[in-house]
Structure 1
Amino acid sequence: MDVRSLFAAQQYAASRPAMEPEPDSRGAGARLAGAARDFAATLTESEEISDAAMTGDADPHALVQALAQSELAVETVVTLRNKVVEAYQELLRMPV
């Protein structure tokens, strides 16, 4: 066995724990699912406040705040979708 390959194997073994995910960290799928639940909850809350405002049971300030929150949530989701589509198109353009 060559000394350089032994040294490389030792360096790899030493750096491997630094690359492993932390045991308490959530995966990307779980984080994405949580973000989708938060998005749906924001839209549901805004819809309930809008319904209450139409019947006169809600404060106008709460309505404006709910509309701003839902607008921000939709803009964020649209931006995320655009980034995902852009990344997918970039992968399609890669030579095989």
Structure 2
Amino acid sequence: MDEALAAYQKTAVGGCTDAPGCQELMESKLRAAKKLRIALAAEDQAEFGEPIRLVRRAERLANRYGPEGLGSRGGYAAVDEPLREAVSWLAVNR
């Protein structure tokens, strides 16, 4: 799980300046977050239920906005919020 969290954090460090760049960054974040979600579930699904739920919420929002919507300011922010909450939860509760 620590490796998956570190990989996500490394991916999340970057920023974006235009819609295609933001779409690419968010898609990378979602791929890394999925790996983190799987690692958390494998370690202890009950203990890490909240961050798992938050990552799933981000994945559902990403599906709703679609790939092109991830590059928009609103779509990016909506999907990024639960991902940030999941990482914050892990920082406080691990």
TM-score by length of 2: 0.42
Question: Which of the pair has more CA radius of gyration?
Answer: 1
TM-score by length of 1: 0.41
Q: Report 1 or 2 for greater relative contact order, CA contacts < 8 Å, sequence distance ≥ 6.
A: 2
